[in-house]
Structure 1
């Protein structure tokens, strides 16, 4: 189920909508890196293209990371 969530990034409130599975992966990634969830989302937000929205950037980040892990584990 897609849920809308709010977060404070760089001192202002913003929202994003992602499925629960993506949210779970993002939280796990943040924990693995020793980051808060908000810090990981801020990193992704800063790196995304200007024409991209935050929700899409979060989903694509999860996809890239999981693909990278799969590729690395196949070696």
Structure 2
């Protein structure tokens, strides 16, 4: 686990996440054409009182679940191989 500093709304905030989560956050941001900081800022604004590191992990999980569901739907549309 690595602690990283991000600047959110003009304040430095420390976030501790495993490298795999950071890699997924980078992929998510790239897919949306935004910076990782912008993505984290958007997640931060919507999290309420939840811990930021925990919310980031859940955002990655939600994104992966959505991608898997989309792939499964595409596979179902194509029918049996």
TM-score normalized by the length of structure 1: 0.94
What is the number of residues matched between the two proteins?
Answer: 73
Larger radius of gyration: 2
Q: CA deviation at 1:49?
A: 2.6
Greater relative contact order (CA < 8 Å, ≥ 6 in sequence): 1
Q: CA deviation at 1:41?
A: 0.3
**2:33 matched residue in structure 1:** 34
- The answer to which structure has the higher strand fraction is 1
4+ residue runs over 3 A deviation: none
TM-score normalized by the length of structure 2: 0.87
C-alpha RMSD over aligned residues: 0.6
Structure 1 unmatched runs, 5+: none
